[in-house]
Structure 1
Amino acid sequence: MPHSMPPAPTPTWLAQSRLSPFPDAPVAHWLFDEGSLTRRLTRLSHNAFSVTPLVEEWQTLRSDECAALELPEHSQGWVREVYLRGHGQAWVFARSVAARSALQEGGLNIDELGSRSLGELLFCDEAFSRRPIEVCRYPDEWLPTAVAGSGLWGRRSRFDRGPLSLLVAEVFLPGLWAAIHAEPEAC
């Protein structure tokens, strides 16, 4: 179910070297892992991983997204919001955005993914390069009401392939930390 995104203070996205205070080791291990989050969640869930689309539409991008993608303020882009689930439980809220012009030139049909994982697509295409991961405490006003919570860690990174740039943000929900705690060897 789509949600509205009321104004919220724009968070300060920080690289690992600028983060203070630093999250505890298990959190940092997940935040700054540069491998495929889809693959990690699939392992943790013993292959009971799924993607639930929430929003897939053209929208005006947020100012922090425009800055990260080097776009003018109020640029239009494709917005895809999904839950990444393990055993049916929402573990991660993900928001991926790309500029309209970049999608038209870049040859990626992000609007046709449905319940497939964007992350798997990005990690299977070696032409994509990933910029450094940035993290913040994600504003709860930007989360769907069903999972909104104060102080949740989020991360984002930009993936580039020629003229196409995608900004992928992932917010780690309490259900993920509970699953990690219950099955630390699966991580």
Structure 2
Amino acid sequence: MVPTWRSQGQLTPLPDTSILDWLFDHGSLTRRLIQLTNDAFSVTPLFEGWQPLRADECAALDLADGSEGWVREVYLRGHGEALVFARSVASRSALQGDGLHMDELGSRSLGELLFCDQAFLRRAIEVCRYPQAWLPSEVRASDLWGRRSRFDRGALSVLVAEIFLPTLWDAARAQSENR
């Protein structure tokens, strides 16, 4: 199943306002997770390497179907628990010679790097119900909300998708109840 990515104005029916707040927040998700977890935030790399990009990724990056790119998949964690599954991709041709070394990030947040570099321009946020088959087996579930946006700096475009796991909604609900 290929997801249909939609802008906020194209969503029907609309999810709960607390979910919308997370999906369409234009700030740094890393910073928001650090705040949510009281600094108990970490990044766990799952996969990093060159591979053919999916058709929806090629379309979002204006690439020919089957183009090869750098793929980075990570968990964004709070207190050791996976809250978000993130998949970031960029084309091989755009990365070579650009100076962004996605292969050297390790357990550092790519999002934080993108938000700290003022040269990156963030395009519109799109959301979908993320295909269960595209998730790591240990967090595979149906109807999870995902969002993505493209970050451009000159000829380089990085597409960042973030899939919100049920544990995130539990943590956000607990935080709002404790206020």
- Identify the match of residue 172 of structure 1 among 158, 164, 173: 164
Could you list the runs of 5+ residues in structure 2 that have no partner in the other structure?
A: none
The verdict on how the C-alpha distance between 1:186 and 1:74 changes in structure 2, with shifts beyond 3 A counting, is farther
Alignment of 1:48-87 (within 5 A): 48-87=40-79
Could you list the runs of 5+ residues in structure 1 that have no partner in the other structure?
A: 1-8
Alignment of 1:16-27 (within 5 A): 16-27=8-19
**Structure 2: distance between partners of 1:90 and 1:167:** 21
How far has the Cα of 1:186 moved from its partner?
A: 8.3
Aligned length: 179
How far has the Cα of 1:184 moved from its partner?
A: 1.6
Instruction: Report the secondary structure of 2:118's partner residue.
Output: coil
- Give 1:95's aligned residue: 87
TM-score for both structures, normalised by structure 2: 0.98
**Structure 2: distance between partners of 1:106 and 1:174:** 36
Structure 2 counterpart of 1:108, which letter? L
- Identify the match of residue 160 of structure 1 among 141, 152, 158: 152
Structure 2 counterpart of 1:55, which letter? F
Does residue 45 of structure 1 match 2:37? yes
How far has the Cα of 1:117 moved from its partner?
A: 0.2
**Structure 2: distance between partners of 1:49 and 1:186:** 19
**Structure 2: distance between partners of 1:56 and 1:176:** 24
What percentage of aligned pairs have identical amino acids? 69
Instruction: Report the secondary structure of 2:96's partner residue.
Output: helix
Deviations 1:93-112 (A, max 9, x none): 00000000000132100010
Q: Which runs of 4+ in 1 moved over 3 A?
A: none
- Identify the match of residue 28 of structure 2 among 13, 36, 42: 36
**Structure 2: distance between partners of 1:48 and 1:15:** 31
Deviations 1:44-83 (A, max 9, x none): 0000000000000101000000000000000000000000
**Structure 2: distance between partners of 1:67 and 1:32:** 21
How far has the Cα of 1:88 moved from its partner?
A: 0.3
**Structure 2: distance between partners of 1:153 and 1:22:** 12
**Structure 2: distance between partners of 1:128 and 1:148:** 32
Alignment of 1:97-136 (within 5 A): 97-136=89-128
